[in-house]
Amino acid sequence: MLKVKVLINKLLIMLIKGYQNYLSPFLAPSCRFVPTCSSYAIEALKKYGVLKGLRLAVLRLCKCHPFHPGGVDPVR
């Protein structure tokens, strides 16, 4: 089971890095947080693993909208 979680974690990080390298450069900068939501997701996955990291990343994405002030929001 641990190997599966590690593989999923690595796959998610690869997908996010793919987004950062190949898709994000063509989009207008819109993240209102530091670090960006994709960087936050990678940090959360590396620090907490797939379950908690993915949960934190999804919660962060839910906060990324025009009515939230944004700002500095590190992985804790």
Provide the angle, in degrees to the nearest 10, between the axes of the packed helices 37-63 and 2-18. Answer: 100
Residue spans per domain, the chain = 2-72
Question: pLDDT tens digit string along 18-59?
Answer: 999 999 999 988 889 999 999 999 999 999 999 999 999 999
Q: How confident is the model at residue 73 (pLDDT cuts 50, 70, 90)?
A: very high
Contact criterion met (CB below 8 Å) for 32 and 64:
yes
> pTM for the full model?
0.92
Q: Would you state the pLDDT for residue 37?
A: 95
Distance CA 30, CA 20 (A): 13
